[in-house]
Structure 1
Amino acid sequence: MDLIVYLQIAFVSFIINIVPAFMPPTWLVLSISKVNYPSLNTFAIAAFGVLGSLTGRYVMYYYSKFLGKYIKEGHKKNVYYFRKLVGSNNVAVFLMTLIYSLGPVPSNFLFISFGLSEIKLLPVLLGFSIGRFVSYVLLIDVSFQAFSYLSLFVNVNGARIIADILGIFFAVIIVFVKWEKLYLFIEKLKVKKANKNRI
């Protein structure tokens, strides 16, 4: 019985995370599952939630690459320099994804942005898995202790809208920020530092 519920949790998490926007937060669905089935293990719920979320975001990462052809050339240039700035540093990508995933903010636009940038997927998946597992465990436990099923359900719309706005804001930063200027500035600093070391 429990295994069936865990598999259902993974499936629902997958569906939620394959859709680009306006879906309930995964942690909320996991918390409701804990409220409905108190005997379920919190760590197991989080693990199956991560499994479904990871698979969904994996699919999203790849289909978001096809969205690139619909982006204006100027924005493509910004995305290109964003990739040059952080994409070659696997540790930076891992830490960025890990820190982002520790919070309750949806990762849909994060994966869409990374997909458009064609950043290497492995450090993204590792950071996402660890960050989401930790955040899911904490959020499930806190939600189970603090709220009833009704209060969680009533608050979902407001929380979802705020979270989606934050996610869109992150994606806008990646697409519209002039990463070329920042990249060239950092490269100039590297050249100056190298010249000083030669003296």
Structure 2
Amino acid sequence: MDDFFETIGEFSYLGILFLLIALNTAPLLMPPTWIVLSSFYLLDPNLDPIILALIGATGATIGRFILKQITGMFRRFVGKDQKSNLDAIGDYLNKKRYGYTIASFLFAATPLPSNMLFVAYGLMRAKSIGLYIGFWCGRAISYYIMILFSNIALTPFLQMFEERYIGILLADAVGVGVVILFASINWQILITQRKLKFVRPKLWRF
């Protein structure tokens, strides 16, 4: 794994950018971007934390854009009730001037994995440029903070990958569960009547 990081590191920031685009395009089984960035920084302290954070935010945003576009193609398989619910929350956010921007920023400002967020955006067919702006800004801030504290908070990436892969699987499983729960909420009733109700939890029409 050290050889892998060294190989990518030979291409400096450009190599890191393309690696992060690839990682963030995948919907599952990928390590958090902040861990990858922090690992590069620990291996090469000459890297600028600010530039590294901006590169990370850019790579993550491009990768998530691709993921959202791919996920959108699977909307045809989503059940009718779930489509209506996704459209309801999408319309609600569209009516708010900065709905998508604020929602994406608040989520991205945390170290939480964003793969399932963009899977949901893809199923909603969200088209607001604000969701990318908010996500980029939030990730740039959170990545910078995590990079600065990487020498304290980071478990070395190699150790995490070899000994704590269960954590990645668990995080992905929770993410999938959250998307199913999200799609099962009757958003129309929740938004208009402030009542929490669920529709039949059947996400795919098979």
Task: Check whether TM > 0.5.
Answer: yes
Counterpart among 95, 100, 104 of residue 97 in structure 1 = 104
Question: How much does 1:3 deviate?
Answer: 8.4
Which of 7, 19, 26 is 1:12 aligned to?
19
| Structure 1 residue ranges (4+ consecutive) displaced by more than 6 angstroms after TM superposition | none
Aligned to 1:83: 90
Question: Are the structure 2 counterparts of residues 156 and 17 from structure 1 closer, same or farther at C-alpha, using a change threshold of 3 Å?
Answer: farther
Q: Which residue of 1 aligns with 2:198?
A: none
Q: Does 1:49 align with 2:56?
A: yes
TM score, norm. by length of structure 1: 0.83
- 1:130-189 per-position Cα deviation (integer Å, ceiling 9, x unaligned): 100011011112122444635555565244234324433442233110112123326xxx
One-letter amino acid of the structure 2 residue matched with residue 181 of structure 1: I
Distance 1:153 1:106, change over 3 A: same
Structure number with higher helix proportion: 1
Residues matched between the structures, number: 186
In structure 2, runs of 5+ residues without a counterpart are 1-7, 195-206
SS in 1 for 2:119: helix
2:64–2:118: 8 Å Cα contact kept in structure 1?
yes
Aligned partner (choices 86, 107, 111) of residue 114 of structure 2: 107
Q: Distance in 2 between matches of 1:38 and 1:155?
A: 25
The answer to whether the 8 A contact 1:31-1:143 is kept is yes
Is there any run of 5+ residues in structure 1 with no aligned partner, and where?
187-199
* Identical pairs, percent: 26
Matching of residues 136-155 of structure 1 within 5 Å: 136-147=143-154, 149=156, 151-153=159-161
**Structure 2 residue aligned with 1:160:** 168
Superposed CA deviations along residues 90-139 of structure 1, whole A, max 9, x for unmatched, are: 41221111111111111111111112112233110011001000110111
Conserved? CA contact 2:101–2:131, under 8 Å: yes
Q: Which of 132, 137, 141 is matched with 2:139 structurally?
A: 132
SS in 2 for 1:121: coil
CA contact (8 A) 1:35 1:148 kept: no
Q: Is the 8 A contact 1:105 1:166 kept in 2?
A: no
Instruction: Give the SS at the match of 2:51.
Output: helix
Indicate conservation of the 8 Å contact 2:23/2:30, yes or no.
yes
- Work out which of the two has the higher radius of gyration on C-alpha atoms and give 1 or 2: 1
Q: Deviations over 1:27-56 (max 9, x none)?
A: 111011011111111111111111111111
Which residue does 2:203 correspond to in 1?
Answer: none
Question: Pairwise CA RMSD of aligned residues?
Answer: 2.2
More deviation in 59-68 or 145-154? 145-154
Residue 180 of structure 1 pairs with residue 175 of structure 2: no
Q: Partner residue of 1:65?
A: 72
Distance in structure 1 (CA, Å) of the matches to 2:104 and 2:88:
18
Instruction: State whether residues 2 and 40 of structure 1, in contact with CA within 8 Å, keep that contact through their aligned partners in structure 2.
Output: no
Letter in 1 for 2:191: Y
